[in-house]
Structure 1
Amino acid sequence: MLGFGLSIEPQLWALIFTMVRIGAAFVAAPVFGAVSVPLPVRIALSGSIAILAMNTAHIQPPDQVFALATFLSVAGEVLIGLALGFILQIAFAAPMVASEAIGISMGIGFATTVDPQHGTSTPALGNFLSILLTLLFLSVNGHLVLVELVVRSYTLLPPGAWLAPSQFENIVIFGGYAFLAGLLLALPVGFLLLCLNIVVGMLSRSAPALNLFAVGLPASLFVGVIALLVAMPAMGDYMLVIIREGLEATRHLVLG
């Protein structure tokens, strides 16, 4: 019942209520939450997965729509969905941190481009690493793992349940992983550029008449491009570690 003498089909109301958590997770999660994904596609995908969740878990929506308990239940569903997607979004922030560390050392920190996932201007190197991380995420079926975790969350976090304070604490602690993973991702190239800057600094002290900008900037750009080319396999392997850590944190939030 809707209240106020109105009624709604129980199956339709259960489907809409189930779509709340799934839709919130897709809004916050990478890939699904990209601005390039049309809204009708998100709604259709949320509805399809909601039907799957209704057939695998016993989901009991509130009896009335316009009730305080219903609003609290919907708020809890939105919070759980946003938490599930936000954890992966934290892991996907690591390439941006790495691009800032590498781009400043290479001298291309000013080069920006439009991020297709967020629709904002981001460093060109960070956009490249984010696309690479997204392709690796799809190649290891990370999107399917996320859908599985969202569906399984209805069993361990039934409607009406709220996240415990310890779960919020785990999300905050995992937020620091984005900075750690970004620095480790930039470590091979960043260390080589740091050594180059030390050499250029020693040259500038030994030969003060040397034009540092005419020598240092082209050298940093050339060495940075070569270092990225050589270190890309190792960076790709560590991106798989970032994906695994993000999915593991999401699984820990759902399964405990």
Structure 2
Amino acid sequence: MLGFGLSIEPQLWALIFVMIRIGATFIAAPVFGNVSVPVTVRVTLSGAIGFLVLAAHPIVPPQQIFAVSTILSAAAEALVGLALGFVLQISFAAPMIAAEVIGGAMGLGFASSIDPQNGKSSPALGQFFSIMLTLLFLSVDGHLILIDLIVRSYDVLPPGAAWIGIERLKAIAFFGGYAFLAGLLLALPVGFLLLCLNIVVGMLSRAAPALNLFAVGLPASLAVGVVTLAIAFPTMGDYMLVIVREGLSATENLVLG
């Protein structure tokens, strides 16, 4: 079919074509897209899931490899995969926003470390939230749900007609606002108390100008922030589960409409 005279070639080409969407999803999705996950592991998982897709769906790849229609079909597959992973990545950005709000109020904005999600420097508190959200995502089998959505996406968006419509792109854009809303709600318990503390410290600095503001305000902010985080973290953990479910729900809506 494609030349070279090999009988296994059509099946191999079909598997490679299916792996485009799956691999693009793993590049953009959290957990799978971590820089700590080797490329070999991603390719192996893409191939294994590709076998499942070929067994469940009669995928017919383009007849010619080097053709404009084939390039457009591959671009459409990559777009669908990136969209699936990007929606989940948006929900994983909410803890980073919450960490920026809380860390700035606590005076921990200078404390940063390498985030295993993307390999870049991020606030230490944000890395802690990100790890907790990843553990919650795995605890509710979010990775298995994502794989199931990838396989089911071939029913709704089959190869050859996989361009995402305007309505789906609009839904992705509007879901981006949810990351800011969820981040602010996640930081609300701690951020509100720190705001009240800053107001009190500001009143004290006006009442007693000779008072060393940094000697009093910074230790108080750190102490109140740590205690409030310890008290409010069970509630914050429950809301992180809500964030995970909202991200999976948005991904399902993207696939099923």
Same fold, TM-score > 0.5, yes or no = yes
Match of 1:125 in 2: 125
| 1:12-40 per-position Cα deviation (integer Å, ceiling 9, x unaligned) | 01100000000000000000000111111
Answer with 50-59 or 40-49: which moved more. Answer: 50-59
Instruction: Letter of the 1:43 partner, please give it.
Output: V
Cα deviation for residue 7 of structure 1 reads 5.1
* Paired residues for 1:29-178 under 5 Å: 29-161=29-161, 162-178=163-179
Counterpart Cα distance in 2 of 1:166 and 1:117: 29
Counterpart Cα distance in 2 of 1:6 and 1:50: 23
Match of 2:234 in 1: 233
Counterpart Cα distance in 2 of 1:120 and 1:109: 15
Match of 1:221 in 2: 222
Match of 1:180 in 2: 181
* Paired residues for 1:6-25 under 5 Å: 6=4, 9-25=9-25
Match of 2:213 in 1: 212
Counterpart Cα distance in 2 of 1:120 and 1:244: 26
Instruction: Letter of the 1:231 partner, please give it.
Output: A
Counterpart Cα distance in 2 of 1:249 and 1:211: 49
Counterpart Cα distance in 2 of 1:180 and 1:53: 36
Counterpart Cα distance in 1 of 2:91 and 2:250: 10
Counterpart Cα distance in 2 of 1:117 and 1:28: 11
| 1:72-125 per-position Cα deviation (integer Å, ceiling 9, x unaligned) | 100000000000000000000011100000000000001000111211110000
For the residue of structure 1 that corresponds to 2:145, the secondary structure is: helix
Counterpart Cα distance in 1 of 2:5 and 2:175: 44
Structure 1 residues 60, 98: closer, same or farther in 2, change over 3 A?
Answer: same
Cα deviation for residue 6 of structure 1 reads 3.8
- Is 2:210 the counterpart of 1:195? no
Counterpart Cα distance in 2 of 1:244 and 1:150: 17
For the residue of structure 2 that corresponds to 1:186, the secondary structure is: helix
Counterpart Cα distance in 1 of 2:150 and 2:248: 12
Q: RMSD in angstroms over aligned alpha carbons?
A: 0.9
Counterpart Cα distance in 2 of 1:159 and 1:118: 30
Counterpart Cα distance in 2 of 1:103 and 1:239: 18
| 1:172-209 per-position Cα deviation (integer Å, ceiling 9, x unaligned) | 00011111111010000000100111111111111111
For the residue of structure 2 that corresponds to 1:48, the secondary structure is: helix
For the residue of structure 1 that corresponds to 2:113, the secondary structure is: strand
For the residue of structure 1 that corresponds to 2:122, the secondary structure is: strand
For the residue of structure 2 that corresponds to 1:65, the secondary structure is: coil
Answer with 213-222 or 57-66: which moved more. Answer: 57-66
Counterpart Cα distance in 1 of 2:145 and 2:243: 15
Counterpart Cα distance in 2 of 1:69 and 1:197: 61
- TM-score, normalised to structure 1, is 0.97
| Structure 2 stretches lacking a partner, 5+ long | none
Counterpart Cα distance in 2 of 1:129 and 1:148: 26
For the residue of structure 2 that corresponds to 1:122, the secondary structure is: strand
Number of positions where the alignment pairs a residue of Structure 1 with one of Structure 2: 254
Instruction: Letter of the 2:244 partner, please give it.
Output: I
| 1:139-168 per-position Cα deviation (integer Å, ceiling 9, x unaligned) | 000000000000000011000120001111
For the residue of structure 1 that corresponds to 2:59, the secondary structure is: coil
| Structure 1 stretches lacking a partner, 5+ long | none
Counterpart Cα distance in 2 of 1:212 and 1:41: 52
For the residue of structure 2 that corresponds to 1:170, the secondary structure is: helix
Instruction: Letter of the 2:87 partner, please give it.
Output: I
